[in-house]
Amino acid sequence: MEAIQTQEAQEVQEVNAYKSEIYGKTFDLLSSTKTNWGVTKKPLVCPDGYKTESFGIYRNDNNKWLGTVGRTYELMQNATLAENIIEASIDISEKFRGGELYDGKKVYYQVQLQDSQIANDTIKRYITGLNSHDGSSSIGFGFTNTVVICQNTFYMAMKEISRFRHSSSAQQRVEVARDEIRKILKAESGLMENYKRMADTKINTVITKKVIADLFKFNEEDFNKDVKDFSSQKVRELSLFNEILESELSSHGQTLWGLFNAVTWKTNHQDVKKGKALENVMVGSGYKKNLNAYNIIVDSLPKVVTTV
């Protein structure tokens, strides 16, 4: 009997120690990212006092309005998302980071993975969980990577997970997060392999034109036009991108990897105000530009032939 009680006491101690570790890491993450605030859902009323079916989402720390939602919208507190992501990934990483976008309308947390090497470039890799407090989207998981030398960040979102927000228990949410993380790790491994293939493939005019056409909304005929047929702003934008492309090809090699980095440099540095790069590449216009360029380049890569 004493042996059983001792074992039970030890198990309780281990569970408490585990919970304490998770809570401690969650507190540290919320504090370091300045996202240790919550949100409140309040009914909205017309100026003349009539009730509505709409509700406002407000930050608890500064009462700032974040968005308007319907009656059935369920809140996801920052602390809940951070804790679930940490618990779901504690066995693969000890490093976490995050922050807010658009003054808290969106909040993200990231799990740092082991660095990768693409050609001569070191790539910082992260699993990303993204939540919207303005009602614009559900919980989303994806992956983010940054080329260290030039701080070009690329984010790819997976499918939104509505069941994460609506799960009835914390354990269910953790299991959903673990399932998504497994999917992300597999997809992210494929992305790293595509990066390596880009770095091994010489750049060519056909693909470069396709990327530029998508980036600047060109038609095929536009490449045969004279400079005077374009607006001065368009000429300036094209000239700046040509400078970016030359610089990135010099830095990353005369390859499709260099071409892709030219696009991500534009979306991370040229198209945004200082300090707003992550907003642009995660939820702004830069997200689609980067993703389109990635898909165009990957579609052009030699097909991988497998043998049985």
DSSP string, the chain: -HHHHHHHHHHHHHHHHHHHHHHHHHHHHHHHTT----EEEEEEE-TTS-EEEEEEEEETTT--EEEEEETT-----HHHHHHHHHHHHTTT-S-EEEEEEGGGTEEEEEEE---EEETTEEEEEEEEEEEESSSS---EEEEEEEETTTTEEEEEE----HHHHH-SSHHHHHHHHHHHHHHHHHHHHHHHHHHHHHHTSB--HHHHHHHHHHHHT--GGGGGS-GGGS-HHHHHHHHHHHHHHHHHHHHH-SBHHHHHHHHHHIIIIISS-TT-HHHHHHHSHHHHHHHHHHHHHHHHSPPPP---
pLDDT of 6 > 70? The answer is no
Q: Is residue 5 assigned to a domain?
A: no
Domain containing residue 230? 201-300
**Is 8 within the bounds of a domain?**
no
Is there a single domain that holds both residue 142 and residue 158?
Answer: yes
Specify whether 69 is located in the same domain as 186.
Answer: yes
180 versus 18: which is more confidently predicted? 180
Residues 130 and 244 in one domain: no
Q: Are residues 166 and 207 in the same domain?
A: no
pLDDT for position 305:
47
Last residue of a domain, one of 158, 174, 196: 196
pLDDT, residue 203, reads 97
The last residue of a domain, from among 177, 196, 215: 196
pLDDT in tens, 147-192: 999 999 999 998 878 778 766 688 888 999 999 999 999 999 999 9
Question: 75 versus 17: which is more confidently predicted?
Answer: 75
**Is residue 306 a part of any domain in this protein?**
no
240 plus 187 within the same structural domain: no
Residues 263 and 189 both lie in one domain: no
Report the pLDDT value the prediction gives residue 306, as an integer from 0 to 100: 44
* Domain final residue pick, 196, 219, 250: 196
Total structural domains within the chain: 2
